[in-house]
Amino acid sequence: MTSEKAKILIKKEFYNKVSIREPYWKYKAIGIKSTLCNKNLVIKINYTNADGGQPFPNSYFIRKEDIKEAKITEMKIRGITLYIIPIEKLTEIK
């Protein structure tokens, strides 16, 4: 999906905004709570590296229909199910 199509979907449909502190570097992915995946997602990765740079300065978008296809695994952490989604499967919004 292109960035322009993602912007149009965001305007037309309901979505959840999600902030990620740090990605899972081992998988080059992010973890999203399964309870948030009932709507389209706009994701902001707030990670800042040691020299102050942000490797992911833009927001990302994924449709709810694509979440289950995109996930590579599920993790249970403290009773919460996380879907692990590769960053490359997200559409960057510029």
**Cβ 50 vs Cβ 42: under 8 Å:** no
pLDDT of residue 53: 93
Residue 45 has pLDDT above 90, yes or no: yes
At 36, is the secondary structure helix, strand, or coil?
helix
Each residue of 31-54: b (16+ CB within 10 Å) or e? Answer: bbeeebbeebbbbebeeeeeeeee
- Within 13 Å of residue 10, how many CA atoms lie on the same side as its CB? 19
pTM over 0.85: no
d(Cα 1, Cα 32) in Å, to the nearest integer?
20
Q: What percent of the chain shows pLDDT beyond 70?
A: 86
Indicate the average pLDDT of the chain.
87
